[in-house]
Amino acid sequence: MKLFSLITTLLVCAPASSAKFGVIKPLQKLKANSPAVRDPFVEERQSLAQPQSNALLSIRGGALGVTQDNALTGTFVVAGLYGLQFLLAPAFLISQNFKVSPDKYHTFLARFSGATMLLLLYSLKQMDTSTAFGVSFLWNSVVAVLGPIYAEMFLETTPMHTVTAPIFVGGVLLLHALAAM
């Protein structure tokens, strides 16, 4: 009886090593043919093997509940406001962020940039969420490097730029990073 008990314990507690030597195969056949026989240890291991966090993340979105839609909304708000400012009030936007007086060439390029930003936002709105999210994440990453980061490192910026631009662009990038998790 002790030998039977030892073999049963080995089959239940060490299925990986038992499977290696072909000992578990008869038990699997018995289970397949008899639905009344169940192994509570195997069921417990199977339930523990499936992380509950993945199920929760699939229900609520990415990290901290941020979804791709949330990240896209952040892009639409921040880039939309910047795009409108570039298009409608370029001289004001430039003088608020940089220690220069904009000339007609600056305002021309700013209006062109604003129109391009707004057209890109319109295009993102026409895409499905997962495609728009990827494009938006890439766009915001490039804008962060070529925009506020470059400006803070190499241009004469005002305190307004130092506070607002990195926070807005960084905030949108943070939303994208959380949604991607």
Q: Where are the domains of the chain?
A: 2-50, 61-180
Q: Write the CB contacts of 14 (distance below 8 Å, at least 6 apart in sequence).
A: none
Q: How far apart are CA 21 and CA 23, in angstroms?
A: 6
Predicted confidence at residue 75, as pLDDT, reads 96
Q: Which residue carries 């494009």 as its tokens?
A: 135
As a whole number of angstroms, the longest Cα–Cα distance in the chain is 97
Q: How far apart are CA 164 and CA 179, in angstroms?
A: 22
Averages of pLDDT over runs of 10 residues in the chain (181 residues) are 50 47 49 56 58 52 85 96 96 95 96 97 96 96 92 94 87 93 89
Predicted confidence at residue 62, as pLDDT, reads 72
Predicted confidence at residue 20, as pLDDT, reads 47
Predicted confidence at residue 166, as pLDDT, reads 79
Global pTM value: 0.64
Predicted confidence at residue 160, as pLDDT, reads 92
Predicted confidence at residue 44, as pLDDT, reads 60
